[in-house]
Structure 1
Amino acid sequence: MALIIPKKIRKGDSVGFISPSAGVGGLAPHRVENAKKTLESLGYKVKIGKNAMKNSGYISSFVEDRIDDIHSMFLDPEIKMIMCIIGGNNSNHLIKHLDYGLIRKNPKIFIGYSDITVLHFALHTQANLATYYGPCAMTQFGEFPKILDYTLDYFNRELSAENHQKKYEIQASELWTSELLDWFKKTDLTRARKLEKNTGYEWLKKGTAKGKIAGGAILSINHLAGTKYWINPKGKVYFLDILKADELNEGAVDALLTDLDNMDFFNEITGLVVGRPADYTSEETQRLKELIIKYSGKKKYPILFNTNIGHTDPIITIRYGRDVVLDSRKNLFAFV
């Protein structure tokens, strides 16, 4: 069955904000307000879910509240895009409780990254809905003084009715940042984050590949291994968003890659795209590259590293199930 691809968003349409995982919106409301103003300046309207600004420790609210916000947004005829305020680590609370029939009957753009991976996988496999791995409200659209141009450009190419491109090459950004300015002390309002020069794409293995794209944050992907929500990697070009945070250290990331290897993941994919690893030193990045090469073994598919995916900025927007081409000879990463 073909994936349901939702209609592109047009100026005048409404965007709905939800918090399906972490409850950070209410702790740094200026970031949500900045995101709202940014989207309004682009010609969109914004509705904030009734539970989206709540905080209950490491989650935004009870499962029932988070589910209600998701269902309400899908049922609201004015909402054309549902944007997650931020990720977290507990979207997996929700996937057994979603009404996938309701969602399938009311398809619309659903976007977010990081832990939102879990919801992307669930909506893909259970509602047959093509969703989008891309910017969240607080992290990208709430950027001070404004959203980074590269992020907005690739968001528009994929989602804007006025600017959508069916086929395009994804260029590496000229600049990037992983600098963190304290949202809770509002240090982020004192200046723009410092950007540094990007070294461009790096091919850990050369070759060509074409296939449907899937993937996400590595920890969230592994949450779903062995479940009905898992997107089968066979024949696909997979992308991995890898970061280091709290207990998610080098050893933990190695364990996650080992899990994928034990599931024969690296033998089944037809190409691999790895986002710029977040909060890694140059030495740690080198060790990560060596691990990825090791786990891919003797497979001949291309592996593209240092892409604008995930927890450093700027980032691209990826529609699950889109056709993608990799070609190391042309230094090419493209949607076709």
Structure 2
Amino acid sequence: MTTPSYPPKPSPGDRIAVLSPGAGLPELFPVPYELGLERLRKEFGLEPVEYPTTRRMGATPQDRADDIHAAFSDPTVKAVIASIGGDDQITVLPLLDRELIRANPKPFFGTSDNTNLLAFLYNTGIVGYHGATVMVQLGRPVAMDALTADSLRAALFTSGEYELRPVERWNDVDRDWADPATFEAEPETRPATGWTWRNADRVVEGRGWGGNLEILSWLLMADREISHDLSVYDGGVLFLETSEELPSGTEVYRILRNMGERGLLQRFSALLMARAKTWSFERPNSPEEGARYAAEQREAVLRALEAYAPDTLAVFDVDFGHTDPQIVLPYGGTIRVDGPAQRITVTY
């Protein structure tokens, strides 16, 4: 497999493709989408370019693949960002022209279901960026979170090191995008706990790989974009986050157990586990219930590590998942985890 390399970065004034490789939710919820586009223009100086399926729910996998090809092959488009995630992007992967995309490398930004395309880019030899979608992070009511915006700006326009820091406040309670009142006030936040370290007696540096845990489990089941040569992951930094579907601790353990049985989990030198999202419209947990859910998830991860990767350096509650703020991680790029200093540095 080709070692992923960083694609050329855009500059303010450039065009950026806005795609919906998963779900065309801008059709159903135009307010956060339009707000995100406005911020791309005014706060980042980029010109969004839409495609036929960007605002279309139910677009076929082939139509979405066509839009991905059009965005990557257009020499005037300098980066690509997802509108939001979804749940069936895996059906688009077999339709992608790997050689076309390899010949036209561009920074791609997305999370959640976009783990599919990020894993595809990793295997194509292109560093992607796990973080920032138009509707969620850029379309945040009233203002983007300052830390999210700083991270996204650095990832978009710079190529140096960027140090992650524990956040002081966070939020995971969603509000109804169909209610105009949602956009009249910033989301309420609550105090955050710092990172929790395990085996923090060494310094690890490697290429980042991972993403949404549920999506990775689907890729494993479908035998897509997970290398059969597991040595390509040796020494890498695994990063994992869970979605608003709130998988149980048992499910999280089983996925990690199966990764361990395959021989995958133990290949990585470090694990970054995102702060768990603990609230959803289907399960509106109280703070106390949410804390119990997060504790159960952590125990599940620790149980799997003890069984399959007991020596792995791990950091919990890093803010790159389905919570707010959200930090961008380079997918296939360099991540440095310094246990003794308790520092995490990424290279954008």
Instruction: Report the TM-score when normalising by structure 2.
Output: 0.89
In the superposition, relative to structure 1, how do residues 165 and 130 fare at CA in structure 2: closer, same or farther (>3 Å)? Answer: closer
AA aligned to 1:171 is R
Query: How much is the aligned-residue C-alpha RMSD, in angstroms?
Result: 1.8
Residues 251 and 187 of structure 1: CA distance in aligned 2, closer, same or farther (over 3 Å): farther
Q: CA deviation at 1:335?
A: 2.2
The answer on whether the counterparts of 2:278 and 2:291 sit within 8 Å (CA) in structure 1 is no
**Residue aligned with 1:132, SS:** strand
Which position in structure 2 is the counterpart of 1:138? 135
Identify the residue that residue 14 of structure 2 maps to in structure 1.
Answer: 13
Report Cα offsets for 1:62-106 as digits up to 9, x if no partner: 112111111111122221111100011111001110011111111
1:219 matched to 2:219: no
- Report the counterpart of residue 93 of structure 1 in structure 2: 91
SS at match of 1:4: coil
Q: How many Å separate the matches in 1 of 2:52 and 2:244? A: 32
Q: CA deviation at 1:289?
A: 1.5
The gaps in structure 1 that reach 5 residues or longer are none
1:213–1:320 Cα contact (<8 Å) kept: yes
Do the aligned residues in 1 keep the contact of 2:244 with 2:277 (CA within 8 Å)?
yes
Q: Return the alpha-carbon distance in structure 2 between the equivalents of residues 16 and 187 of structure 1.
A: 29
Identical counterparts, % of pairs: 25
1:307 aligns with 2:303: no
Secondary structure of the structure 2 residue equivalent to 1:104: helix
Q: Which runs of 5+ in 2 are unaligned?
A: 280-289
What CA distance in whole angstroms lies between the structure 1 residues aligned with 2:201 and 2:20? Answer: 40
Matched, 1:317 2:319: no
CA distances 1:216-241 after superposition (whole Å, capped 9, x unpaired): 00011112227351154332110001
1:277 pairs with 2:286: no
- Among 194, 210, 227, the alignment partner of 1:200 is 194
Matched residue of 2:126: which SS? Answer: coil
Q: Which amino acid aligns with 2:27?
A: G
1:12 deviates by 0.5
What does residue range 247-266 of structure 1 map to in structure 2 within 5 Å? Answer: 248-266=247-265
> Partner residue of 1:326?
337
Shift of 1:323: 2.1
Give, as a single letter, the amino acid of the residue that structure 2 aligns with 1:154. S
Assess if the C-alpha contact under 8 Å between 1:38 and 1:141 holds in 2.
Answer: yes
Which of 69, 73, 85 is 1:75 aligned to?
A: 73
Aligned partner (choices 103, 110, 113) of residue 111 of structure 2: 113
1:158 is paired with a residue whose SS is: helix
Residue 47 of structure 1 aligns to a residue in which SS? Answer: strand
What SS does structure 2 have at the residue aligned with 1:96? helix
Whole-angstrom CA distance in 2 between matches of 1:267 and 1:165: 30
Q: Which runs of 4+ in 1 moved over 4 A?
A: none
Query: Is 1:25–2:26 an aligned residue pair?
Result: yes
**2:302 paired with 1:293:** yes
CA distance in 2, matches of 1:53, 1:244: 22
Q: CA deviation at 1:271?
A: 0.6
Cross-structure match for 1:191: 185
CA, structure 1 residues 2+256, in 2 after alignment: closer, same or farther (shift >3 Å)? closer
Aligned length: 327
Question: Which whole-Å CA distance do the structure 2 matches of 1:14 and 1:43 have between them?
Answer: 9
Secondary structure at the residue paired with 1:329? coil
**Secondary structure in structure 2 of the residue aligned to 1:259:** helix
Query: How far apart, CA to CA, are the structure 1 residues paired with 2:173 and 2:184?
Result: 14
